[in-house]
Homo-oligomer: A and B are copies of this chain.
């Protein structure tokens, strides 16, 4: 209310009002310690009274760092994205940074997006969420000094800082849970094999079975597409079999396919969990509302976003302190400073199994399995 931002003041105006030079104002604004605290006070007072905010474009042009973080994301209505973005946005709210959002859809010339973004030289770091085909270009830019973090489940995390979950362990626990429920014929619907998470989840599934002395039965493995339609398809195939070839439980590679599966089950009058217990993976919001509500592995999406952005900001702080290419090791304030480029961090967040009505123990009440994870 006090100072209208319209008058487009510049540091020069502030300088005059405070009776100092542009340079001093600039220094105050950038918290340069070499300025007299008294002067700084005076300047800050003027700045606040007039609600002054430096022109960011000029700042960048002059070589300062932007307060802008680029976020490369698939369409926001993909189920996991809003939650991830919430984590990102909430974290960034407490910082001076803003988000520049690059949504990659179908139309855009994918190959060029990254180049354009970087050519604009506007962001000081990039968070790449499910970058798909763009994942290939990421390591290069990272090596060239762009602070960069990837959230992905498709490519194997290599060459760039990465945040995600431990799919193998998660799938292992999900399967173990079904085993603990007393099931022995446990089927699995997996996603596209090109996805890294597909493989990991399958491995976790197999490992749990083997440890229980069960050999994974190829007859109980379905390969699909991670989409609802895929779940529907697998359901039809499965339910078309004679009843004694059905499994008693099913671990589905993601929730989306589970939705399709549950739909078909309901249409065909197959009772879940009585006839078949179902466990999914992801725990999108919808999963609590399906019929029946879906037992599933909860991915902490907002935490993933938060963690990724936290890592990114620390990378920005760190990488900007050093020259583009310097010798690896150095120490700051007793804390051993890692060289992100030599050894890109890879953070795995824990998942939890959320039990809902789509699964249930087939054991007598006295031997129910524990609650979760």
Across-interface contacts of A121 in B (CB, < 8 A): 8, 55-57
Across the interface, name the chain B residue whose C-beta is closest to A94: B107
Across-interface contacts of A332 in B (CB, < 8 A): none
The one of B93, B111, B286, B302 in contact with A108, judged by C-beta atoms closer than 8 angstroms, is: B93
Interface 0/1 of A123-156, CB less than 8 Å to B: 0000000000000000000001000000000000
Across-interface contacts of A365 in B (CB, < 8 A): none
Across the interface, name the chain B residue whose C-beta is closest to A83: B77
Q: Is the CB of A101 within 8 A of B102?
A: no
Q: Is the CB of A75 within 8 A of B57?
A: no
Within 8 A of B (CB), among A67-109: 68, 71, 75-77, 81-83, 85-86, 89-90, 92-94, 98-103, 105, 107-108
* A119 at the B interface (CB under 8 A): yes
Known: A86-B75, A89-B75. Contact between A52 and B5, CB under 8 A? no
Q: Please, how many angstroms separate the alpha-carbon atoms of A31 and B143 in the complex?
A: 36
* A237 at the B interface (CB under 8 A): no
Q: Please, how many angstroms separate the alpha-carbon atoms of A292 and B56 in the complex?
A: 52
Across-interface contacts of A122 in B (CB, < 8 A): 56-57
Between-chain CB contacts (< 8 Å), 10 pairs: A6-B144, A51-B119, A53-B116, A53-B120, A57-B121, A77-B85, A77-B302, A94-B107, A100-B101, A285-B285
Q: Please, how many angstroms separate the alpha-carbon atoms of A75 and B87 in the complex?
A: 9
* A15 at the B interface (CB under 8 A): no
Across-interface contacts of A105 in B (CB, < 8 A): 89-90, 93
* A40 at the B interface (CB under 8 A): no
Across the interface, name the chain B residue whose C-beta is closest to A1: B111
Give A365 Cβ to nearest chain B Cβ, in Å. 23
* A60 at the B interface (CB under 8 A): yes
Across the interface, name the chain B residue whose C-beta is closest to A290: B289
Give A166 Cβ to nearest chain B Cβ, in Å. 24
Across the interface, name the chain B residue whose C-beta is closest to A144: B6
Known: A93-B107, A286-B286. Contact between A120 and B56, CB under 8 A? yes
Across the interface, name the chain B residue whose C-beta is closest to A120: B56
Known: A100-B99, A289-B259. Contact between A89 and B115, CB under 8 A? no
Give A235 Cβ to nearest chain B Cβ, in Å. 16
Known: A77-B82, A82-B82, A144-B6. Contact between A120 and B55, CB under 8 A? yes
The one of B58, B86, B102, B259 in contact with A76, judged by C-beta atoms closer than 8 angstroms, is: B86
* A362 at the B interface (CB under 8 A): no
Q: Please, how many angstroms separate the alpha-carbon atoms of A118 and B3 in the complex?
A: 13
Within 8 A of B (CB), among A11-70: 51-58, 60-61, 68
* A291 at the B interface (CB under 8 A): yes
Pairs A-B, 4 closest by C-beta atoms: A53-B119, A89-B103, A57-B60, A57-B57
